[in-house]
Amino acid sequence: MSRQLISRNPDLARLEAEGYDVSVEGGFLVVRGVPFVDAARRVRRGLVISRLDLAGDRTIKPRDHFVWFAGGEPCDALGRPIGEMVNGRARSNLGGGLIGEYMLCSRAVGGEYPDFHAKITTFVNQVTAHVHVIDPTATARSGHVVAAPVGRSPFAYVDTASSRHGIGAFSDRLAGQSIGIVGLGGTGGYVLDLVAKCPVSRIHLFDDDRMEQHNAFRAPGAASIDDLRGLPSKVAHFEAIYSRMHVGIVAHEERLDRANLHMLDHLDFVFLCVDSAASRSLLVAEMERRGLPFVDVGIGMQATAEGLLGTVRVTTVTPDMPHAGRPHPRIPMEAILEDDPYGSAAQVADLNSLAATLAVMRWKRRAGFYLDLAGEHHSVFTVDGNHILGEDHAVGAGS
């Protein structure tokens, strides 16, 4: 992807053609081999790292006037920090192995840089101007071209959100996981919408139903009338949409049952979004037996004269919980009675999306993307009071 982005954008291609050691890594434009003077008046080489602003696979005008510098603190020819540029040490883990050490700021003439060639060359020239007092031959234009980073990105285009907002190091904690989503009727589709924006390696979808018209009114996005006329499978429908963004989506047009439980073998985490008590009972028992962590979600609605009552349940099961090794008591396993809060099959999009959001946030807290102080493994949201009750806290978590 690094090579393709560079070749498709004149400003990046110009940097490469001029001999800069340039690459695109995790939403950042990186230039290596930039000579600078250190505090001992020695000439060394470092990295200039800039956020990369994109529209698809095309660069747009840079939105800021700073870069990170790594490899040491740039100084003038006398070994003094370049005060007008260096805003002091600002070590930042940018993700993907990139560490910014110093923040350099320099406004463009006219206030904005027209493109990334102008931005990068401005910073490089300002740093190397001090180098030329000591070594007039030193240059960042080495002619060396860096190969694309090792490993394939799970995205069809660069994740500039993580780099733009400085959360790449936390996104890295989600990388490489193989995620299963069982059931794509309502909540599962919203789970996919959120997980597809994470750098997991694979997202396996399991459902044997068709995408019918009523499903469109509680699923993410907007299915076209032509989509519905074709009556595609749910997994095929969602795979076609989200593969535009995430290249690791795998559709399985089948229901998980005793005959194909081996499909759980290579999963790291599962979102269980089914309304069948029999399927839930089988899968919960199997995943607990395997020690495979998962989140099970449930939605309940009841009609009253004043309006609908609604509840959302999110239950997380992990090997370190005291319930591990037997069916989790918080998850309904038997056929649901008509007067049970979960007895209604009615669902609406906002509750489906909320259930998915709570479930995905719980997974992200477990992975360390979000700080998790309470470690609750069971929560229930009630619509009428707008309350969330969290229970089953991990040992040592919470107050």
At residue 214, φ and ψ (nearest 5 deg) are -65, -30
**Tokens at residue 2, please?**
């690094």
Torsion angle, CA of 307/305/341/217, rounded to 10 degrees? -40
Q: Per-residue pLDDT tens for 24-45?
A: 988 899 999 999 999 999 999 9
291: Cα separation from own chain's centroid: 25
Instruction: Specify whether the CB–CB gap between 58 and 160 falls below 8 A.
Output: no
Query: CA-to-CA distance for 144 and 397, rounded, in angstroms?
Result: 51
- Position 368 confidence tier, pLDDT thresholds 50, 70, 90: very high
Radius of gyration for the alpha carbons in the chain, expressed in angstroms and rounded: 26
Q: Is the pLDDT of residue 150 over 50?
A: no
- Position 146 confidence tier, pLDDT thresholds 50, 70, 90: very low
Q: What is the pLDDT of residue 323?
A: 57
Domain parsing of the chain, residue ranges: 2-163, 176-393
CA angle 266, 280, 375 (to 5 degrees): 70
Instruction: Specify whether the CB–CB gap between 2 and 148 falls below 8 A.
Output: yes
Reference 204, options 267, 283, 293; nearest CA is 267
Reference 239, options 261, 207, 214; nearest CA is 207
- Position 148 confidence tier, pLDDT thresholds 50, 70, 90: very low
Q: Which CATH superfamily is domain 176-393 in?
A: NAD(P)-binding Rossmann-like Domain (3.40.50.720)
Instruction: Specify whether the CB–CB gap between 277 and 333 falls below 8 A.
Output: yes
Q: Is the pLDDT of residue 270 over 60?
A: yes
Q: Is the pLDDT of residue 80 over 60?
A: yes
Query: CA-to-CA distance for 152 and 200, rounded, in angstroms?
Result: 11
